[in-house]
């Protein structure tokens, strides 16, 4: 039995904040204690209730202890091609992405990239992420092996793609089915790993491959599904040319039975009325990827409209179309996109999205996403005065809302003071790591 006690300012959400003054949506302990036993949180209390135990503790005051961040969509195999100069999505994919991902056929490459990728996640306070691997099964093995070694709850899968990409990257409908099946058997539920069946998007999958994906989804209801939807105008037009019988882009995935409460759809920027209705009815998740949408000039996510239609929403970096591993940077860019839409996202709502909101969108609330008994002790400790400029601003901050807004507006990996994964310290600026 291993017990750890943390002391600090603890913030965790219990529901989605509807406004900046929605104090019922979160629990905040100005001086709180978190008791961790064997990787799980067993108690969260005001420090006055913990102090009488007289046990040793780690003091994180004046920093904030929150649930570790959750990143709902990124490509670990694109870690070495972030910041590639392109006009828009399809040019970027053809010029850089499909070239970079071919490297994962080489022995040893996936392991070294996976290791550096996880280091970046941890440096940025992300303790769970949902990643696309390349089309090579060995890239999936490296991804989950690294997660297992670090005891992290990670989701991901082999990209299925059998057309409109270089031959060296393409699989076939049959091989993608066989490989995915084998990978689910090997990795889903091993350690904290969870598998996501991952047809890349309609453009790179033949109807035969989407049928294979449909069979996989039917045979493996335990697995997640991830793909891209409605990111860019040219992508949408081409998808409709390739699937002329579908009513719209969402209809392609709908026709192959790929939608549902475990389906994560990256981007969802240009959806029509029917499409938002279908996403809401099926419980599919629209994943907002702000830094990527700005970088690739894809468009402005319409959060309010999706929420109004009852669509579940996630928040993600989308590395390497996205430009930062940091969920703080992601919240900031998300805020700016919504400003351009005339939609204000209050700081409680953005921290909710990156923690409990994303956990709920993965149907993993109760396991991750909250500093609450029964949850894994996957935690981030944030310092809102981490840089001279932040410290200068922090001197005039006089509310929790202002502090969170400062963190999301000026913060990055430097604001991540400590990270715990299943109760073990994975990043520390207090020394020792």
Site for ligand GUN in 18-77 (CB under 6 A): 75
Report whether 285 contacts 263 (CB < 8 A): yes
Q: Site for ligand GUN (CB under 6 A): which residue of 104, 117, 201, 352? A: 201
Site for ligand GUN in 299-338 (CB under 6 A): 318, 321
Query: Residue number with the shortest CB distance to ligand GUN?
Result: 321
Asked if 413 interacts with ligand GUN (CB under 6 A), we say: no
127: enclosing H helix or E strand: strand 126-132
Distance CA 380, CA 419 (A): 5
Per-residue contact flags (x/-) with ligand GUN for residues 220 to 239, judged by CB under 6 A: --------x--x--------
3-state secondary structure of 76: helix
- Nearest residue (CB) to ligand GUN, 89 versus 153: 89
Asked if 200 interacts with ligand GUN (CB under 6 A), we say: yes
Distance CA 368, CA 355 (A): 8
Query: Residue number with the shortest CB distance to Zn ion?
Result: 266
Query: Tokens in use for 98?
Result: 């499909």
Angle between helices 137-150 and 109-123 (to 10 degrees): 40
Peptide bond into 399 cis (omega under 30): no
Asked if 138 interacts with ligand GUN (CB under 6 A), we say: no
- Nearest residue (CB) to Zn ion, 125 versus 266: 266
CB of 157 to ligand GUN, least distance (A): 13
Q: Taking the CA atoms of the chain, what radius of gyration do you get in angstroms?
A: 21
Report whether 341 contacts 313 (CB < 8 A): no
Residue 418: contacted member of Zn ion, ligand GUN, none (CB under 5 to 8 Å, by partner type): none
Per-residue contact flags (x/-) with ligand GUN for residues 259 to 298, judged by CB under 6 A: ---------------------------------x------
Binding residues (CB under 5 A) for Zn ion: these are: 266, 318
Distance CA 363, CA 271 (A): 24
Distance CA 349, CA 381 (A): 19
Residue 292: contacted member of Zn ion, ligand GUN, none (CB under 5 to 8 Å, by partner type): ligand GUN
Footprint of ligand GUN on this chain (CB under 6 A)?
A: 75, 89, 93, 97, 200-201, 228, 231, 292, 318, 321
């Amino acid at each position: 039995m291993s017990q750890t006690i943390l002391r600090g300012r603890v913030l965790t959400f219990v529901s989605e904040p509807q406004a900046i003054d929605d104090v019922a949506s979160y629990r905040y302990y100005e001086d709180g204690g978190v008791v961790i036993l064997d990787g799980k949180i067993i108690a969260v209390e005001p420090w006055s209730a913990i102090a009488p135990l007289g046990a040793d503790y780690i003091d994180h005051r004046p920093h904030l202890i929150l649930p570790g961040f959750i990143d709902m969509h990124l490509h670990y195999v694109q870690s070495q091609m972030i910041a590639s100069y392109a006009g828009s999505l399809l040019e970027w994919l053809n010029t850089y992405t499909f070239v970079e991902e071919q490297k994962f056929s080489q022995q040893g490459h996936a392991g070294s990239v996976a290791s550096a990728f996880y280091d970046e996640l941890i440096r940025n306070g992300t303790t769970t992420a949902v990643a696309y691997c390349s089309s090579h099964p060995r890239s999936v093995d490296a991804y989950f092996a690294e997660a297992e070694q670090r005891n992290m709850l990670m989701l991901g899968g082999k990209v299925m793609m059998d057309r409109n990409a270089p031959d060296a990257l393409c699989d076939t409908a049959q091989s993608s089915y066989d490989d995915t099946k084998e990978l689910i058997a090997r990795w889903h539920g091993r350690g904290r790993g969870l598998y996501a069946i991952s047809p890349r998007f309609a453009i790179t999958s033949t109807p035969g491959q989407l049928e294979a994906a449909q069979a996989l989804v039917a045979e493996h209801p335990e697995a997640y599904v991830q793909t891209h939807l409605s990111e860019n105008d040219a992508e949408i037009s081409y998808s409709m040319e390739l699937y002329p019988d579908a009513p719209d882009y969402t209809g392609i995935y709908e026709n192959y039975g790929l939608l549902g409460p475990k389906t994560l759809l990256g981007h969802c920027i240009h959806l029509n009325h029917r499409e938002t209705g279908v996403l809401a009815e099926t419980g599919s998740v629209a994943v907002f990827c702000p830094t990527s949408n700005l970088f690739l000039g894809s468009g402005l996510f319409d959060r309010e409209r999706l929420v109004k239609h009852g669509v579940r929403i996630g928040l993600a970096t989308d590395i390497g179309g996205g430009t930062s591993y940091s969920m703080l940077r992601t919240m900031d860019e998300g805020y700016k996109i919504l400003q351009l839409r005339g939609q204000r996202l209050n700081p409680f709502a953005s921290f909710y999205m990156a923690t409990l909101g994303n956990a709920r969108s993965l149907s993993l609330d109760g396991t991750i996403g909250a500093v609450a008994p029964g949850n894994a002790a996957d935690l981030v400790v944030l310092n809102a005065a981490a840089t001279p400029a932040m410290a200068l601003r922090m001197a005039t901050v006089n509310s929790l809302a202002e502090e969170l807004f400062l963190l999301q507006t000026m913060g990055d990996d430097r604001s991540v003071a400590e990270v715990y994964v299943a109760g073990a310290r994975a990043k520390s600026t207090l020394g020792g790591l």
